[in-house]
């Protein structure tokens, strides 16, 4: 046969495949989520997230230093307080567990990586919702924004470089930006969880933060059936002053991620969430899939869809694998 084009020519060897590869994830794109729990003395395994731990405050500095040594781009801090109340009071406490962890992380990071902090109330409220509740039990959007503003300033004072606005309240970016600027924190960046879906893939994360949620978050997180709405949400957040926008989860929403990346003028992040990670870990533990290949393929597909930044529990190992394959 005479074939003018034989695409297989570009697949004949590992060096050839490496030469023509279109997508090349980098260690500096990776952000590692970290869980710090008040009252712990030693790190504690999270059974539904193999390899992931809750850390005591005293360990955060060394964990962040290890992340910097691995070449990661950043860490994202989540905290579990000892006590919770309906308003999530501990979230705004300058000496609370999250703000104390931010200070430890920033000191350990130096100029080597970016310290991000989760800005949401779900870990701090006794009802487990991402905001304060109205008398009828619904999440009060505007009352929640007032708390987010105070929480943002507290995190900025603790030294956070980036605040991860994950609550999906309407107007949260604008309110937080105004609060930060009014307090002189014009250099603190905002990562808006712009398209955060009401997903079944958050289960292990809720174990990790010991969630007390009853019911669901469908009145503020997005319907998984909606694609165009993701672009609308991202555009609104960008117009309000978001410095980055996020799509979460990642793999089930690669179409939304591609849409957002195509329209965005700011960097786009994606969160390879706990349930996605746990699926790979569980299947690999049973010998059903190749763990390294599966995690690497997942990362590549997320970057291929348009993510500039990937938040992933596999960040450490992915960084090592990427370095080996460079």
* Residue pair 130/122 in contact by the 8 Å Cβ criterion: yes
The catalytic residue among 84, 129, 196, 316 is 196
> Which pLDDT score, from 0 to 100, does residue 106 have?
98
* Residue pair 76/248 in contact by the 8 Å Cβ criterion: no
Pairwise CA distance, residues 168 & 80, whole Å: 20
CATH numbers and ranges of domains, the chain: 24-325 (3.20.20.70)
* Residue pair 270/195 in contact by the 8 Å Cβ criterion: no
pTM of the full structure: 0.97
Backbone angles phi, psi at 202, to 5 degrees: -95, 0
Closest by CA to 76, choosing from 321, 219, 274, is 274
> Which pLDDT score, from 0 to 100, does residue 214 have?
84
- Tokens describing residue 262: 């195509």
* Non-local CB neighbours of 255 within 8 Å, separated by 6+ positions: 227, 305
User: CA-based angle 86:124:171, to the nearest 5?
Assistant: 85
Pairwise CA distance, residues 194 & 230, whole Å: 7
**How large is the angle between the packed helices 274-285 and 291-304, nearest 10 degrees?**
150
The catalytic residue among 103, 161, 217, 248 is 248
Q: What is the DSSP annotation of 19-36?
A: HH-S----GGGEEEEEEE
**Is 53 tagged catalytic?**
no
**How large is the angle between the packed helices 141-158 and 97-109, nearest 10 degrees?**
40
Which residues in the chain show pLDDT less than 50? none
pLDDT digits (tens, 9 = 90+) for 121-147: 999 999 999 999 999 999 999 999 999
Distances, alpha carbon 41 to alpha carbons 59, 60, 79, 226, 268, in Å: 9, 12, 15, 44, 36
Q: H helices within the chain, ranges in order?
A: 14-20, 60-69, 97-109, 141-158, 172-182, 203-208, 228-240, 254-263, 274-285, 291-304, 315-325
**Is 196 tagged catalytic?**
yes
Give the three-state DSSP class for 176.
helix
> Which pLDDT score, from 0 to 100, does residue 326 have?
74
According to DSSP, residue 90 is labeled: G
Pairwise CA distance, residues 237 & 245, whole Å: 7
> Which pLDDT score, from 0 to 100, does residue 1 have?
80
* Residue pair 191/242 in contact by the 8 Å Cβ criterion: yes
Q: Could you tell me which residues are beta bridge partners of residue 31?
A: 74, 311
- Tokens describing residue 286: 């049973």
Pairwise CA distance, residues 38 & 20, whole Å: 49
């Amino acid at each position: 046969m005479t074939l003018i084009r034989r695409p297989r020519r570009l697949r004949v060897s590992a060096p050839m495949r490496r030469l023509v590869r279109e997508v090349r994830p980098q260690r500096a794109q990776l952000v590692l989520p970290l869980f710090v729990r008040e009252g712990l003395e030693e790190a504690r395994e999270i059974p539904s997230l193999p390899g992931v731990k809750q850390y005591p405050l005293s360990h955060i500095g060394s964990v962040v230093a290890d992340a910097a040594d691995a070449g990661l781009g950043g860490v994202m801090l989540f905290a579990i307080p000892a006590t919770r109340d309906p308003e999530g009071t501990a979230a705004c406490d300058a000496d609370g567990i999250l703000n104390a962890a931010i200070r430890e992380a920033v000191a350990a990071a130096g100029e080597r990586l970016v310290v991000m902090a989760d800005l949401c109330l779900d870990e701090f409220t006794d009802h487990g919702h991402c905001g304060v509740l109205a008398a009828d039990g619904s999440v009060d959007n505007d009352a929640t924004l007032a708390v987010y503003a105070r929480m943002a300033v507290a995190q900025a004072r603790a030294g956070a470089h980036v605040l991860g606005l994950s609550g999906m309240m309407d107007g949260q970016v604008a309110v937080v930006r105004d609060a930060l600027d009014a307090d002189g924190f014009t250099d603190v960046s905002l990562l808006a969880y712009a398209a955060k879906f009401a997903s079944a893939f958050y289960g292990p994360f809720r174990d990790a933060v010991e969630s007390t949620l009853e019911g669901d978050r469908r009145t503020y997180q997005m319907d998984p059936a909606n694609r165009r709405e993701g672009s609308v949400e991202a555009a609104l957040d960008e117009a309000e002053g978001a410095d980055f926008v996020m799509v979460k989860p990642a793999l089930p929403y690669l179409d939304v991620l591609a849409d957002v990346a195509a329209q965005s003028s700011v960097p786009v992040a994606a969160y390879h969430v706990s349930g996605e990670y746990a699926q790979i870990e569980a299947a690999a533990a049973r010998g059903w899939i190749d763990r390294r290949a599966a995690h690497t393929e997942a990362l590549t597909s997320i970057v291929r869809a348009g993510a500039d930044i990937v938040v992933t529990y596999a960040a450490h190992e992915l960084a090592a694998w990427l370095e080996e394959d460079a």
